[in-house]
Chains A and B, each alone.
Chain A
Amino acid sequence: MRAAGLFAGSIIVAFAVWQLLSTVVFNPFLIPPPLVVFKTMVPMVENGEIFKHVAISLARVAVGFTTGCVAGITLGVILGRIKLVNELLDPIIELLRYLSPTAMIPIAVIWFGIGELSKYFLIFWGTFFIVLINTTAGVMRAPIIRQRAAECLGASPLQIFLLVVIPSAAPYIVTGMRIAMASSFMSIIPAEILAADSGIGFLLQQSSVLLQTNRIFVALLTICVLGFVTDRLFRIAVDRMLSRYMSYIALT
């Protein structure tokens, strides 16, 4: 309750300071005051324009993130479990992971055009490496004692893998997914700015060309809220479904 109060208080103060600064100190055209931003936002909400962009960006993130997680977890588990594969692929992964989604935009556009596929690919690219590296680390760090204890109780290799190793790696995997989620929201924007005809990034780009700073701020606010809400929902879902796998980290 206190935390919620502080949170609301902090937001309100921030808006007040913003309002004050943009009207008194700075040029209100360059930094539109919050009241102007809200006034701009109302018709965009009413005619559904903002939701259209949000929905498109969200769909891109969802597809890229989901496929990236599936691929990253699958390969990460293999890398964590089979030493030879890890030794063979690790150098390549260590090099490729420095190619951020933004760095991949130009080639993605050539490969996949400016349609949905290039955006799926870019989000996938960003998600994949983060989830992969975290999953591999989690699987490799599943305590050997825990696996041996299960083994001498009679667990088969498959049971050790499914009932001991994967749950032990769960906190790492989930953490990786959460970081990847945040990174997805960051990388969808440049992707849409440079190569799209819809989405929040496109809204930013178009408003910039037309010098509509108020619309730019609407888009920026939307990104903040979108990322924040998604992360919170992700955390709530994890707490609901995986809390018993997450809460023990302090113990080991």
Chain B
Amino acid sequence: MLAVRNVRKSFGESPHTYLALDGIDLEVSQGEFVCLLGPSGCGKSTLLNILAGFDQASAGTVDFEGAPVRGAGKDRVMFFQDAGAALLPWLTAEENVRFALRVRNVPKAEWPAIIDKYLEMVGLKEHRTKFPAQLSGGMRQRLQIARALAVEPKALLMDEPFGALDALTRRRMHGFLLDIWRRTGTTVVFVTHDIAEAVTLADRICVMSVGPGSRITEVIPVGLPRPRDLADPDAARVFKRVEGLLG
């Protein structure tokens, strides 16, 4: 569904160019949950921005469902860590979802049912008239998920979405995201620097090397049933292996 071939990305003009990504190859299939894992500054967010279409690769190709990616597309919805900035703070929870339906040209008659469905799904139905500022960090992220899902994207691109949440809330959000992913069958590309998070969530973990010229050094299929427990020997083995690659 998503095919990245030999992608290179450099910033700045020569001779001061910085080569961020070099020779990235990645294949994501329909409904798959892929994690891009690497230390800070390895270019994972850069890669995600290219997948989203916010940024262009300097060389190589990115195809989505057989067609090259040109600009942000409605099928690939990006999900940001800073929900406070990504949401429209002057709109209530339900108005934020309505905004997505409006810009997506969904017929007006369908709005109430869709809004109810997704606010219900993320457990924010009781809080529909609250503004983002009145919601907790976890609730804001759930609202961002509801808003993204409401336009029924084929792929969700998530840029360290739970990085700013406390450990407990983050764990809850993992269970929640997996549940939604199972129910909707959306393809997910998830960027993180947290090994445990990647092992908990992903079908496959793409480990990236440190820049400049970072690349995907290894792709590790996790292949364990969910929910996963990191204390479980199989999960621990995957964790160790990834840790070894990063260390």
Taking Cβ atoms with an 8 Å cutoff, the residues of A that contact B are 143, 145-146, 148-156, 159, 163-164, 167, 170, 244-245, 247-248, 250-252
User: B133, A143: Cβ atoms under 8 Å?
Assistant: no
User: A149, B80: Cβ atoms under 8 Å?
Assistant: yes
Q: List 22 A-B contacts (CB under 8 A).
A: A145-B80, A145-B85, A149-B144, A151-B54, A151-B72, A153-B77, A153-B99, A153-B147, A153-B148, A153-B151, A154-B74, A154-B105, A163-B88, A163-B99, A164-B88, A167-B90, A244-B91, A248-B89, A248-B90, A251-B89, A252-B84, A252-B89
User: A146, B88: Cβ atoms under 8 Å?
Assistant: yes
User: Within the assembled complex, what's the spacing in Å between the Cα atoms of A213 and B133?
Assistant: 53
User: Within the assembled complex, what's the spacing in Å between the Cα atoms of A244 and B129?
Assistant: 12
Nearest CB in chain B to that of A251: its residue: B133
Partner of A153, one of B89, B90, B91, B100: B100
Chain A, interface SS category: helix
User: B84, A251: Cβ atoms under 8 Å?
Assistant: yes
Nearest CB in chain A to that of B153: its residue: A152
**Total B residues in contact with A, Cβ cutoff 8 Å:** 31
* Contacting residues, chain A, for B147 (C-beta < 8 A): 153
Shortest C-beta distance, A250 to chain B (Å), equals 7
* Contacting residues, chain A, for B73 (C-beta < 8 A): 152
User: Within the assembled complex, what's the spacing in Å between the Cα atoms of A114 and B236?
Assistant: 85
Nearest CB in chain B to that of A151: its residue: B72
Partner of B86, one of A145, A156, A248: A145
* Contacting residues, chain A, for B89 (C-beta < 8 A): 248, 251-252
User: A163, B85: Cβ atoms under 8 Å?
Assistant: no
